[in-house]
Structure 1
Amino acid sequence: MNQTLNSSRTAEPALSHFRGGAAHTVYLVVSSLAMFTCLCGMAGNGMVIWLLGFRMRRTPFYIYILNLAAADLLFLFCMASMLSLETQPLANAVNKVHELMKRLKYFGYTAGLSLLTAISTQRCLSVLFPIWFKCHRPQHLSAWVCTLLWVLCLLMNVVTSSFCSKFLLFNEKWCFRMDVAQASLIMGVLTPLMTLSSLTLFVRVRRSSQQWRRQPTRLFVVTLTSVLVFLVCSLPLGIYWFLLFWLQLPPKMMFLGFGLSRLSSSVSSSANPVIYFLVGSRRSHRLQGSLGAVLQRALREEPELGSEQMPTMATNEMGA
């Protein structure tokens, strides 16, 4: 057990080992793309937070999207900070700041995954049990679920950081145990639950669309697209964390995989605002109305009566 998932000895030291080689050049290009993606993603998620937090009346589903945007923004900020701090001559002077950003990055990643799983699961329940969901759903369920997920993710990452950070109570044995628990949660619970609920949602809505000859709601498209983007782009980072220290991979492959997983996860956390605005402006040749109106169309649960119909502000009170 030479290294552990969350320990301070990750792939960063390989920067100096491969410096000047082709692998280092590829890594720098990938890191530059990741930095650009992070900056664009922070702007997009910041816009979503501004619109949902200050410009629109919050509905149950809006609360989920607001919290997901906050988790993505945290992850992207930490990723961009780490990429900046790894450049010379800063790397040797700010080890504690780099370590803090890495811990917060793990926190943002697990929080985003948990929230996306909750969104997918609740959307699936709203389709499978529509009467219960509309009539008996607790009024503040979304807020309580989001709060609980933030607290659980924070506690998990604080405990993991305590054992895995060289600046705290580093213990390789306990760090490895926390790695196994965290990887099991990501790969064995959250990802399968999110995938299963999304597949169930897709099959049920697709069958209803064919039976009643109506188009799926934009919210359905947003949910499934966000899950698909996560599985394609962000899950490789979780897989990388899980497999990195179990498989004896060549150092160069591990180094490049580290950079590519960073880029793909940055794309995933930056993609949701793009999805919202693309879906909200679907069937239009341009963005109709303000950005708030476009975002509201994307998060609308009721089926549209016409392609040109404009939604009213916060019409879906139970749109979770």
Structure 2
Amino acid sequence: MNQTLNSSETPQLTLNRMNALKAAYFVFSALATLTCVFGMVGNSLVIWLLSFRMQRTPFCVYVLNLAVADLLFLICMASVISLEIVLPDKDKKVKALEVMRRVKYFAYVTGLSLLTAISTQRCLSVLFPIWYKCRSPRRLSIVVCALLWALSLLMNTLATFFCSRFGSRDEPWCLTVDIVLSILILGIFTPVMMLSSMILFVRVRRSAQQWRRRPSRLFVVILASVLVFLVCSLPLGIYWFILSWVNLQSQIETLYVSMSRLSSSLGSSANPIIYLLVGRQRSWSLREPLGTVLSRVLQEEEPELEGREMSSTGTDKV
């Protein structure tokens, strides 16, 4: 009799679990879509201000390209979620959905590489201030951004070609391309970004303690953006490049995908909020123009000299 009860309860428990999973998926998807909408507004505002209302500096170029990549990622993320909810299961492999997934992947890689370039270049400006000020190429930021967009486009095109032509991720060519992308994302870009950010944090903290002054807003923006990416956006990259090769239960995989989509949407939407919070004055009010707040964050693009160089610079100005 107990066996009969247990066998009768098992389908009910499975049904309840499936309903709870479906409800969680829709809740996370709705929150991610709403986050994408707010993020698209914020990044569009940043793009407009940097394109038409502000003077271009090296880090303005980086921030502008990062905002474009984030905006593209959020548009594709919202489109993918909407198409998956609207389309029936048998139509989940329509070309529009596949294109949005590929473009979203392209924007994700570009945003990661741009954030790595921002933190690395700022780290070099702190470690080698004289070289950076006098010898660094004038259009370095423009060239780096163009190369990173081209690299991301090339890798995404190769992945699309080989995986779509051979039809399965288990094929050797598709597997090779994915391994190369995994090395590029998790083996090069992410470690370099973390290392440069750690060096930047240590130098800024030591300089702040030694000279008893607050770190520049640009330092705070870079460190905050990197931290938000590692916390919010990296889980989606881990799923794409590692967990997709692991055989997980469909329920666990669906829950992880929905959660990583929400967190990555938060990561791509957070940068305009970071600029707003860091750029405000102590007496900041809502009437202060956003362009003024953004320019206040990005105006300190010159490297900060340490030791005697800093003191001598201050003496010359006096």
On whether the aligned pair clears a TM of 0.5, the verdict is yes
Alignment correspondent of 1:46: 44
Q: Partner of 1:26 in structure 2? A: 24
8 Å contact from structure 2 (residues 73, 107) kept in 1: yes
Of 69, 78, 86, which residue of structure 1 is paired with 2:76? Answer: 78
Given that residues 281 and 287 in structure 1 are in contact (C-alpha distance below 8 angstroms), is that contact kept between their aligned partners in structure 2? no
Deviation at 1:251, TM superposition (A): 1.8
CA drift at 1:246: 3.6
Partner Cα distance (2:17, 2:49) in 1 = 43
Provide closer, same or farther for how the CA distance between residues 83 and 193 of structure 1 changes in structure 2, counting only shifts above 3 A: same
Distance in 2 (alpha carbons) for counterparts of 1:33 and 1:260: 10
RMSD between superposed Cα atoms in Å: 2.0
1:133 aligns with 2:132: yes
1:59 is matched with: 57
- Relative to the length of structure 1, the TM-score reads 0.85
Q: Please state how far the C-alpha of 1:302 moved relative to its aligned partner.
A: 7.0
Using the alignment, how far apart are the partners of 2:149 and 2:246 within structure 1? 31
Give the aligned length.
Answer: 285
The reply to whether residue 170 of structure 1 matches residue 167 of structure 2 is yes
Deviations 1:120-146 (A, max 9, x none): 000000000111111111110000000
Cα distance in structure 1, aligned partners of 2:246 and 2:41: 37
CA contact (8 A) 1:63 1:142 kept: yes
Aligned with 1:284: secondary structure? coil
Kindly name which structure, 1 or 2, has the bigger radius of gyration based on alpha carbons.
2
The answer (yes or no) to whether the contact 1:106–1:157 under 8 Å persists in 2 is yes
Equivalent residue, structure 1, for 2:309: none
* C-alpha distance in 2 between matches for 1:18 and 1:229: 35
Q: Conserved in 2, the CA contact under 8 Å of 1:37 and 1:270? A: yes
Indicate the residue corresponding to 1:5 in structure 2: none
Structure 1 pair 19/75, CA: closer, same or farther in 2 (3 Å)?
farther
Unaligned runs of 5+ residues in structure 2 are 1-14, 303-318
Contact 2:197 2:226 in 1 (8 A): yes
1:104 aligns with 2:103: yes
In structure 2, give the amino acid aligned to 1:191. T
The answer (yes or no) to whether the contact 2:232–2:267 under 8 Å persists in 1 is yes
**Pair 96,302 (structure 1): closer, same or farther in 2 beyond 3 Å:** closer
Q: Which runs of 5+ in 1 are unaligned?
A: 1-16, 304-320
Q: How does 1:100-249 map to 2 (within 5 A)?
A: 100-165=99-164, 168-170=165-167, 172-249=171-248
Is the contact between residue 54 and residue 291 of structure 2 (CA under 8 Å) also seen in structure 1?
Answer: yes
Q: Does 1:87 align with 2:88?
A: no
Deviation, structure 1 residue 51: 0.2
Aligned-pair distance for 1:288?
5.7
Greater relative contact order (Cα < 8 A, sep 6+): 1
Q: Which residue identity lines up with residue 293 of structure 1 in the other structure?
A: T
User: Contact 1:120–1:198 (CA<8 Å) still a contact in 2?
Assistant: yes
Question: Is 2:84–2:92's contact at 8 Å kept on the other side of the alignment?
Answer: no
| Partner secondary structure for residue 136 of structure 2 | coil
Give distance in 2, aligned partners of 1:241 and 1:145: 25
| Structure having the larger proportion of residues in helix | 2
- Cα distance change, pair 69–19 in 1 and its aligned pair in 2 (3 A): farther
Match of 1:310 in 2: none
What TM-score do you get using the length of structure 2 for normalisation?
Answer: 0.85
Counterpart contact for 1:82–1:98, Cα < 8 Å? yes
Q: Is the 8 A contact 1:85 1:94 kept in 2?
A: no
Q: Residues 196-248 of structure 1: CA distance to partner in whole angstroms, max 9, x if unpaired?
A: 00000000111111111111000000000000000000001111122323433
Q: State the match for 1:10 in structure 2.
A: none
Instruction: Determine helix, strand or coil for the equivalent of 2:118.
Output: helix
8 Å CA contact 2:61–2:141 kept in 1: the answer is: yes
Deviation at 1:195, TM superposition (A): 0.2
Q: Percent identity?
A: 60
User: How big is the shift at 1:69?
Assistant: 0.3
Kept in 1: contact 2:57–2:301 (CA 8 A)? no
